[in-house]
Amino acid sequence: MELEVLGRALTTLPADDDHPYRTGPWRPQTVERKADDLDVVGEIPADLDGVYLRNTENPVHPALELYHPFDGDGMVHVVGFRDGKAFYRNRFVRTDGFLAEQEAGRPLWAGLAENPATSPTQTGWGARGRMKDASSTDIVMHNGVALTSFYQCGDLYRLDPTTLDTLGKASWNGAFPSDVGVSAHPKLDEATGELLFFNYGTEAPYMHYGVVDAADALVHYIDVPLPGPRLPHDMVFTENFAILNDMPLFWAPEALAKGKYAAKFHPDIPTRFAVIPRRGETSDIRWFEADPTYVLHWTNAYEDGDEIVVDGYYQENPEPPSGGGTIYQRMFRFLDNEQMGPRLHRWRLDTVTGKCTEEHLSDRISEFGMINQRHAGRRHRYTYAATTLPGWFLFDGILKHDADTGTEERYAFGEGVFGSETAMAPRTGSRSEDDGYLVTIVSDMNRDLSECLIFDAHTVGDGPIARIRLPERVSSGTHSTWAPGAQIPDWRTHDDPATAVGL
């Protein structure tokens, strides 16, 4: 392994920190590294070509009062594969808020679990004006550039997908909706090169939907009126439609009127799907009603005759009880999948009758499902999801679900080993949906190290075919993506111009 330190963040976290989501598997990193020719156990397939990109919440300053793991600064990790070899980089996303706090040497914004009025900084660089836009939730490729995003809506930060240099913010030729921002989970349609997105806020119409074309220009943007402020987190699309949602878990209006943000589930209100032609107008929106639940993540949607099929993770208990336990247990109950009970679920929206039918596809608790992105918006068969450790926001295994047969195959990382959202990487010249590899990063608490694991997508249960040692144990986090080399400009000749950047 050839290792080089690129930079180091100024941190004010206490040396004796005992916060459950800033220690253990969530221990943050402060050093940016560049490592080439990584050590490998097994063999990296020669037809694995591209980069695995993973975003993490990585705090460098303590909270003003109560830290929530989603408050951490964005740090992106990349493991790249070329010609049977691997390289690694990790870099902080140079958001406006991150740079301001580095200069100040202290936190400047209240977090998710804190009163916005306590923020030393009341304006600028905020997610919808009340929180720091950490750009730490999601990551997606579009037009040859990696885009990081924040779940509370904010800017999209542009990163070089191999060096992770921050290239500024998405502007879309000056048309970026900076007054509201963009939510996490914008969606790339690899077939058209379009990026579909939504945003949401506390003022009418409460949601918007837009399309950015393959040349990075905003070509469509409409209102999606809702009954009030909502908390959508994800969206899906088909070849002809975008599907947004109105879920009955949202901020309590009486608390919101007092400037407080407390989520409440309303079991008497149905789940609603907004089906919009991809370049349709507000007047074209059709609403479909389904059983009340909350869905954090969708896997895919596609058209099947007159029906639109939507797959995602139906929560059996979207609002776990808050009584008893420590303040941390009460705060983080929305991170406990064992309590919320998300299961892979299918909704069928009949465009002729306007009716919705639905069913569980799996009885096993799982979340963070990924597919072969070449099938996004088209019929898919396989979903690769994460199983989770009860009581924690930690991934303890990979679950492959076959929608055609209903069969499932699981690989458990082992006690004390925790994974990342697992991306499907089609091999060069792949001929079928699962003809490729699964890529993930694991943090092994037993050996105090991280590895990038590669699985044959056909035989997940057989375990990894290669283990790649990373230079430092990686903090846990949320989302990832796979970008094939063909999507990266100058991929075959990229000489990695990353240089040290002072922090």
- pLDDT on residue 123: 57
- The kind and range of the H/E element at 288 are strand 286-290
pLDDT for residue 122: 54
Of the options 2.120.10.30, 3.30.70.270, 3.40.50.2300, 2.60.290.11, the CATH number for the domain spanning 2-487:
2.120.10.30
- Let me know: does 475 contact 58? Beta carbons within 8 Å: yes
Residue 212 in tokens: 């950015």
212: part of which helix (H) or strand (E)?
strand 207-212
Is residue 333 within 8 A of residue 324, CB to CB? The reply is no
Q: What is the pLDDT of residue 490?
A: 87
Q: What is the DSSP letter of 393?
A: S
DSSP single-letter state for residue 114: S
Query: How far apart are the C-alpha atoms of 183 and 140, rounded to whole Å?
Result: 12
Using only the alpha carbons of the chain, give its radius of gyration: 21
Specify the pLDDT at position 494: 62
Domain extents in the chain: 2-487
Q: What is the pLDDT of residue 500?
A: 39
Dump strand ranges (E) for 389-435.
Answer: 395-402, 408-412, 417-418, 423-426
Task: Please identify every stretch of the chain with a pLDDT value under 50, giving residue numbers as ranges.
Answer: 497-502
Q: What are phi and psi of 170, to 5 degrees?
A: -65, 135
The pLDDT value given to residue 499? 41
Three-state DSSP class for 14? coil
Provide the whole-model pTM. Answer: 0.96
CB 380 within 8 A of CB 310: no
- 438-452 core/surface letters (b: 16 or more CB in 10 A; e: else): bbbbbbbeeeeebbb
Distance from C-alpha of 485 to C-alpha of 428, rounded to nearest angstrom? 9
Q: Are 54 and 420 in contact (CB under 8 A)?
A: yes
Instruction: Give ∠ CA 38-40-42 in degrees, rounded to 5.
Output: 160
Q: Which among 94, 256, 229, 99 is positioned nearest to 169, based on CA atoms?
A: 94
pLDDT of residue 62: 95
φ/ψ of 176, rounded to 5, equals: -60, 135
Q: Tens of pLDDT along 67-123?
A: 999 999 999 999 999 999 999 999 999 999 999 999 999 999 988 888 777 787 655
What is the reported pLDDT for 119? 80
